[in-house]
Amino acid sequence: MTEASGGRRSRVLDKVLACRPEVEALVVTTPENRRYLTGFTGSWGMSVLTATELVLITDGRYVEQAAAEAPGSRIVRHGTDPLPAMKEVVQATGAARIGFEKENVTVGMHQRLQSALEGITLVPTEGLVEGVRIIKEAEELDLIRQAAAMADEVLDDHLHLLRPGVTEREVAIALEFAMKRRGAGAAFEIIVVSGPRSSLPHGRPSLRVMEEGDLVTLDLGVQYQGYCSDLTRTFAIGRADARQREVYEVVLAAQTAALEGLRPGMTGKDADGLARSVIEERGYGEHFGHGLGHGVGLAVHEGPRLSLTGDAALPEGCVVTLEPGVYLPGWGGVRIEDLVVLRSDGAERLSNFPRELKIL
């Protein structure tokens, strides 16, 4: 994608203008938000959204790239210090009160902005761009679908590595290499945890050698043209004992309940409850220590939140994970995670890897 659609810019602007008179324009510093609005993929830049224009302020390293990627923005090149350019842009808007993204701006950056923008009130804002990003456009959904398909393929291509004698780290490296060869990359550090380490929901791949009888959990996401996917499967190496099968069945039943019961309009907490109630009924409630899922898009973790604290209603068109897990310290764990898009009639899976326990 080279240019953000005018539609998303006007949707964000509607949110900003709805904050008037508190906020008259918005300084966008969060990288994913900047990319979403302008299309610019460079590592440095700030944008300013006003009622009449979208400005992208960046430095000499990026002006050529910015002109190509963000034709809908006015590109302003800054020198060593970005603040004089920022001051000029903000003053030209005539706004007396300008919003900034409080979750992204550091105390130091705020102090520098405030001293440069003397006479202008900086107003903390939250979620103005993120609120629009929650509902995916067709073009975004297509990229997420491709990222999810790549994760399915990369995982399927490497199941032969899940065998006794191979380290967790070797598996993670091979998966990441395969993603990069496909013109994509890892959306986050790949998780490979085996044996007793599989009770660590976000354990880092170690030099542990896999053994027969292990459970091994892989959590991987592909980032493709900026968009992420997220997929988790737990496998058994060689054999699975009765308890391993039982825990797997509990997690699978919980995920199935979420896949079948998810509907637009329910809160993130309601959605979480679909899976959590199954795990609680089976006596493992205290071992499901994280939320059911999260939104995925330009960021691998974004809104909406599907957890005990998810108060917001889930809109049609959002893309979320459903990833219940059960983790027993010292024994191991199981997590099954799929990416879905929420349709009017329920969840449509974007990841299509089989969900049943595979014994390798």
* Helical packing angle, 242-261 and 268-281, nearest 10°: 150
Give 24 or 230: the residue with its C-beta nearer to Zn ion. 230
Letters for 311-330 (x = contact with Zn ion by CB under 5 A, - = none) are: ----------x---------
Question: Quick check: 302 binds Zn ion (CB under 5 A)?
Answer: no
φ, ψ of residue 352 to 5 degrees: the values are: -120, 15
Residues 229-268 that bind Zn ion (CB under 5 A): 230, 232
Q: Which is closer to Zn ion, CB of 25 or CB of 259?
A: 259
In whole angstroms, the minimum distance from the beta carbon of 58 to Zn ion comes to 32
Nearer to Zn ion, 93 or 232 (CB): 232
- Judged by CB, which is closer to Zn ion: 219, or 272? 219
C-alpha span between 21 and 209 (Å, rounded): 61
d(CA 319, CA 340): 6
Q: What is the CA radius of gyration of the chain?
A: 23
Tokens of 47: 């944008």
Residue 56, SS3 per DSSP: strand
Minimum gap (Å) between residue 339 Cβ and Zn ion: 8
- The stretch near Zn ion (CB under 5 A) out of 37-45, 70-78, 135-143, 227-235 is 227-235
* 272 sits near Zn ion (criterion: CB under 5 A): no
What's at 257, amino acid-wise? A
Structure tokens that stand for 137 in this block: 């456009």
24 or 337: CB nearest Zn ion = 337
Q: What is the largest CA-CA distance in the chain?
A: 70
Q: How many residues bind Zn ion (CB under 5 A)?
A: 5
Tell whether the torsion through CA atoms of 47, 48, 54 and 58 is positive or negative.
Answer: negative
Question: For Zn ion, which stretch binds (CB under 5 A), given 71-79, 213-221, 241-249, 325-333?
Answer: 213-221
Decide if 234 contacts 336 (C-beta within 8 A).
yes
The nearest distance, CB 321 to Zn ion, in angstroms, is 4
Asked if residue 219 binds Zn ion (CB under 5 A), the reply is yes
Decide whether 237 or 299 has the Cβ nearer to Zn ion: 299
Output the six-digit token pair for 277: 């109630």
Task: Say which residues have a Cβ less than 8 Å from residue 122's Cβ, sequence separation at least 6.
Answer: 98, 99, 100, 110, 113, 114
Binding to Zn ion by CB under 5 A, coded x per residue (else -) over 162-201, reads ----------------------------------------
Interface segment toward Zn ion; rule CB under 5 A; list 70-78, 223-231, 233-241, 348-356: 223-231
Nearest-approach distance from CB 267 to Zn ion, in angstroms:
19
- Whether the Cβ atoms of residue 156 and residue 353 lie closer than 8 Å to each other: yes
The residue ranges that bind Zn ion (CB under 5 A) are: 219, 230, 232, 321, 337
